[in-house]
Amino acid sequence: MIFSPSPLILHPAVLLMAGLLDSAIGDPAWLPHPVRIMGKAISWTERLLRKIFRTPVAGKLAGTFLVMLIVLPAFFITGYIAQVCASGTAPYLLTLAGTALLVYLCATTLACRELLRAAQLVIGEVDKGDIAAARHSLSMIVGRDTASLSESEILKATMETLAENLSDGIVAPLIYLTLGGLPLAMAYKAINTLDSMVGYKNEQYRHFGWASARLDDAVNFIPARITGIIIVVVSAAVLRSFTAARWSWRIMRRDGSKHTSPNSGIPEAAMAGALGIRMGGPSTYGGMRVEKPCIGEMRADNHREAAAGALRIVQAASLLALAVSAAILYIRSAG
């Protein structure tokens, strides 16, 4: 059986099984998922706090309370669950069930299968020439307006979301699973979910979402840069070109800081450099045109081929990140 001396120390076998489980089933709607529970908790808590803190000046304080009321319970509740599941003090069958629950909860922090499935759906619809369906599918995974996007713009947006979500949906959770087990990874997912729900710069969330957005920037700072390096490393093997890796490194260093986000631009620039495409540029959000800096250089004119390459890079990067994380945990447990 798989035991752990602390809820903050994950057994490498649990991590590997969690990665395999995520790859096998992803996020089926019929299974309870912590992120969906967090989303409901965030919505309910937001409504409550807005009734208490009514002025814009108090918005930042309310948003700070929101972060604490969501993130701290996520950490301590899953810490208790991890402690019970991996303690080895229960009868055999209960211990086996606890291990299975721990594996499942760790798998819910990862989003490899869902990311690849969503991107493959968009790319497949473009390949079939069904641009209307591709626009609709893309709208499910990006925040920009998709109704008038061309084929190349659809594929570019798909590659951008692949690069960004490789960081916060796969690499970052693996890092936090490695550093602090299920509790730290679930706290990360809580922060990430908060940012996706309230971390906007519009009038409604400028103050209320400030704490969520800043904390998300902080916890993704290192994972984003590790993701960029992973993309550089795997691009040489995946694309069978050391030139791709050199361009990936060059563009990541040159353009990674151009993005409005302090983190998203790093993996996007690494991906753009590897594939020889240009990301960024103007986009429309809620009918409003937003000017974004361009990232990368156009060295390839086939966006379909580049999109297929982006899928392969994400697959290889996910496997490498999982293997390295498991190896670190193994060395940690052996020592």
DSSP for 49-80 reads HHHH--SGGGHHHHHHHHHHHHHHHHHHHHHH
Asked whether the predicted pLDDT for residue 5 surpasses 80, the reply is no
Q: What is the pLDDT of residue 11?
A: 92
Q: What is the pLDDT of residue 334?
A: 80
Residue 3 domain flag: no
- Long-range CB pairs of 115-122 (<8 Å, 24+ gap) are 115/161, 115/162, 115/165, 115/166, 115/169, 115/170, 115/314, 116/311, 116/314, 116/315, 117/26, 119/158, 119/161, 119/162, 119/307, 119/310, 119/311, 119/314, 120/311, 122/154, 122/155, 122/158
Identify the weakest region by mean pLDDT among 6-20, 131-145, 240-254, 274-288: 274-288
Mean pLDDT of 213-231: 98
Number of CB atoms found within 10 A of residue 127's CB: 13
pLDDT tens for each residue of 127-151: 999 999 999 999 999 988 899 999 9
Residue 7 domain flag: no
Asked whether the predicted pLDDT for residue 90 surpasses 60, the reply is no
Asked whether the predicted pLDDT for residue 175 surpasses 60, the reply is yes
Identify the weakest region by mean pLDDT among 39-43, 142-146, 160-164, 230-234: 142-146
Q: What is the pLDDT of residue 256?
A: 94
Instruction: Give the residue with greater pLDDT, 56 vs 37.
Output: 37
Residue 267 domain flag: yes
pLDDT band at 2 (very low <50, low <70, confident <90, very high): low
Mean pLDDT of 39-46: 96
pLDDT band at 172 (very low <50, low <70, confident <90, very high): very high
d(CA 53, CA 76): 26
- Helix residue spans in the chain (DSSP H): 12-25, 34-52, 59-85, 92-107, 112-127, 131-139, 151-166, 172-198, 210-238, 242-255, 265-275, 303-334
- pTM confidence score: 0.94
Residue 86 domain flag: yes
The secondary structure element, H or E, covering residue 209 is none
pLDDT tens for each residue of 289-310: 888 889 999 998 899 999 999 9
Mean pLDDT of 206-229: 96
Q: What is the mean pLDDT of the chain?
A: 92
Q: What is the pLDDT of residue 95?
A: 73
d(CA 120, CA 264): 21
Residue 5 domain flag: no
Domain that holds residue 80: 12-334
Mean pLDDT of 155-172: 96
Q: What is the pLDDT of residue 335?
A: 66
Mean pLDDT of 174-187: 97
Q: What is the pLDDT of residue 109?
A: 97
Residue 1 domain flag: no
- What distance, in Å, lies between the first and last C-alpha atoms of the chain? 20
Q: What is the pLDDT of residue 174?
A: 98
Q: What is the pLDDT of residue 13?
A: 94
Residue 104 domain flag: yes
d(CA 297, CA 278): 5
Q: What is the pLDDT of residue 96?
A: 81
Residue 91 domain flag: yes
Asked whether the predicted pLDDT for residue 52 surpasses 80, the reply is yes
Q: What is the pLDDT of residue 24?
A: 94
Q: Work out how many domains the chain is built from and give that number.
A: 1
